[in-house]
Structure 1
């Protein structure tokens, strides 16, 4: 089993809360295990969105989990940072106000926090 790093809620914007988590992964099975581990925490299981991306030896994977385009934002940042073999999950608890394009900036901020944590900052 891979070791999941939860950095917790790192920012808020108009009531929405964002957290970032991640772990080293090598296969899609590893990614699924990380997501299952994360969602074993009821707070994360009940989150509005758990968007994620990973670059594996077999190729890039991403999922928006209802936050259209967010997986691609994470994936592009992983590619730019050259961080292969990690899944990064940005979790959002919707706060009642739409953020428009700012939601992508919050996903970037959360992803950057994880990249800095693992020493792959942009």
Structure 2
């Protein structure tokens, strides 16, 4: 397992801020370690949501962390991109205004920023 690839805050919408982080993982314990490392940063620990999805050799895992349906958005994008052995975490700090369906677009935007960064790095 490699270290975190933290892009930081990639966008904001009506006060909510979104960040994206990812890492190479192959087991659930790797995913848990990445989440623990991310949340060791107080800024991320205090976030409203740390929604994530992982594609592991044993299958896909995901957790909405209170952002209902958002993990499936991340997982679908990872599967479409053919990204395996990886976890992507989209962090949201709630800004006080509900975004409705736009929240899914922001999760997509953050995930796309991460996938684009991976392509640039390779």
TM-score normalised by the shorter chain: which range applies?
A: over 0.9
Task: List, as ranges, runs of 4+ consecutive aligned residues in structure 1 with deviation greater than 3 Å.
Answer: none
Q: Does 1:50 align with 2:53?
A: no
The aligned residue for residue 39 of structure 1 is 39
Mapped partners of 2:63, 2:80: distance in 1: 18
TM norm structure 1: 0.96
> 5+ residue gaps in structure 1?
none
1:36-87 Cα offsets, whole Å, 9 max, x none, are 0000000000000000001100000000000000000000000000000110
For structure 2, list consecutive stretches of 5 or more residues without a partner in the other structure: none
Match of 1:66 in 2: 66
1:20 correspondence with 2:20: yes
Alpha-carbon shift at residue 33 of structure 1 (Å): 0.3
1:2 deviation in Å?
2.7
Is 1:88 aligned to 2:88, yes or no? yes
SS at structure 2 position matched to 1:103 = helix
Which residue of structure 2 lines up, in the alignment, with residue 113 of structure 1?
Answer: 113
Is residue 9 of structure 1 aligned with residue 9 of structure 2?
A: yes
